Amino acid sequence: MADAVDFDRPIPLFPLNQCVLMPHVAAPLHVFEPRYRAMTEYALEGSHLIALAVFAGEQWKSNYAGNPPLREHVCVGQIARHEEVNDGRYNLLLQGLCRARIVEELPLADGGYREAFMEPTESADVMEIDLSEDRQRIKALLEDELMRQLKPVAALHNWLEEDIPTRTMLDLAVMALCPGLEERYAMLAEPRADRRAAWVENHLRRTHRTLALAAAQGSATDEEGFPLN
């Protein structure tokens, strides 16, 4: 979906301390700071594009109002829905479009928000047909009786039944199964879909082993089906 993005123009940056967006995934955002309200207004007047970035290191905790360093890989998203609240805040639904890398950050825009020139990073070397065996192995794992007890896995299985592209399924899987920042960011930064498929398959196999052990021990589970210990 990088074709939907004009990379010849700078794109506003919305930095967060977590990786909350992947391509093909929609994320709700509440925008309340003046600089990011200005960013939202700019985006709504034009391309509707915003790139969600991730802070690098811990400097943002003491210098949040400044320009703390960012990790180079971002997800470019498009505002799919928006609601302006009476006091100027916004509720947004941002639809992830594509992976990108920050090439050059520009001086602050007039509204005080950050923006940068970027380039797409998704590798074109891997086609859908190249992922067919990965898809079948992942689907078999998702159909396992133990795995289907997990609510996120049940949702992924339903998406597979809709015959969505494998790239889409992989990004949905990362967001559904991996709450950790580093895992999500690593998959955002990985340009090759075959490597992302291998990671998702390995993650599912580890999860299956954990579930099998928990079932044998009679361990309790949380509301989503994951073992509590």
Distance separating alpha carbons of residues 180 and 202, to the nearest angstrom: 16
Strand, helix or coil for residue 51? strand
pLDDT at residue 38, as a whole number: 96
pLDDT at residue 188, as a whole number: 96
Q: What is the average per-residue pLDDT within 66-74?
A: 92
pLDDT at residue 224, as a whole number: 56
pLDDT digits (tens, 9 = 90+) for 198-219: 999 999 999 889 888 887 876 6
pLDDT digits (tens, 9 = 90+) for 79-137: 999 999 988 899 999 999 999 999 999 999 999 999 999 999 999 899 999 999 999 99
CATH superfamily, region 10-120: LON domain-like (2.30.130.40)
Strand, helix or coil for residue 165? coil
Angle formed by the axes of helices 166-177 and 181-189, to 10°? 160
pLDDT at residue 13, as a whole number: 98
Beta bridge partners of 54: 16
Please report, for the chain, the start and end positions of each structural domain, with discontinuous segments joined by +. 10-120, 128-217
pLDDT at residue 198, as a whole number: 97
Distance separating alpha carbons of residues 141 and 198, to the nearest angstrom: 13
Of 131, 148, 205, nearest in space to 156 by CA: 148
pLDDT at residue 60, as a whole number: 73
Strand, helix or coil for residue 141? helix
